[in-house]
Amino acid sequence: MRLFAALRPDDAAIEHLVQTLRPIRRDLPTELRWTDPDNWHLTLAFYGEQPDGAVEDIVASLGQAAMAAENPLDLHLRGAGVFSHKTLWVGVGGETRRLRALAADAGALLPDTESECRRHRGHLTVARLSRRGTRPARWDPVLDDLARALAVYVGPTFTASEIILYQSLLGKGRGGGPLYEPLATISL
């Protein structure tokens, strides 16, 4: 099973971003695939394929990471950027040092994820360039334009009070996208 640990913005933060993106989505070409707001999350660590028996150990370790965090985090969605000329993301503001520390602790569970979490950049993926589009999938200026337009975005503050361990079920979500099934919730 494919596993990852994440924080989920509250409903008000998600709805604020949905409302902000609504006119943009309506007026843009169809070569963008917008992610499902029901799947929006801030990844702390991606564990990849793990055996079923690993869930219990990962949950126990995430409990230790949550204790090290001591308190919930006050965060907000802000700004935007593009990864690899293909993925549009919205960034995170607020207690980002604590967010990076939590991601490092969550990533230290497995050796392969630790170095990835050291360079953690809190973000929420909102769109990807469609492979089915007419433009090359490796680059499209529309994403850069969107990132510049959303650079001034600041959403409402939310309190991240729990880590969620998700199972990622590829192709099982709406429109053939992924379905993220929560397996465990760990309070901060």
- CATH no. for residue 164? 3.90.1140.10
pTM of the model: 0.86
> For 58-74, what is each residue's pLDDT tens digit?
999 999 999 999 999 99
Let me know if residue 108 belongs to a domain: yes
Let me know if residue 21 belongs to a domain: yes
3-class DSSP assignment, residue 65: helix
Per-residue pLDDT, 29:
62
Let me know if residue 49 belongs to a domain: yes
> For 145-162, what is each residue's pLDDT tens digit?
889 999 999 999 999 999
Let me know if residue 118 belongs to a domain: yes
Catalytic sites, residue numbers: 41, 123
Per-residue pLDDT, 117:
45
Let me know if residue 14 belongs to a domain: yes
Per-residue pLDDT, 120:
63
Let me know if residue 66 belongs to a domain: yes
Let me know if residue 88 belongs to a domain: no
| Other Cβ atoms closer than 10 A to 70 | 8
Per-residue pLDDT, 121:
74
Let me know if residue 114 belongs to a domain: yes
Q: How many domains does the chain have?
A: 1
Residue 30 pLDDT class (50, 70, 90 cuts): low
Measure the CA–CA gap between 35 and 89, rounded to whole angstroms.
10
Domain extent, residue 55, equals 2-76+93-122+160-187
Q: Is the dihedral of CA 62, 123, 156, 101 positive or negative?
A: positive
3-class DSSP assignment, residue 127: strand
Instruction: Give the residue from 140, 133, 134, 188 showing the smallest Cα distance to 164.
Output: 188
> For 71-95, what is each residue's pLDDT tens digit?
999 999 999 999 888 899 999 999 9
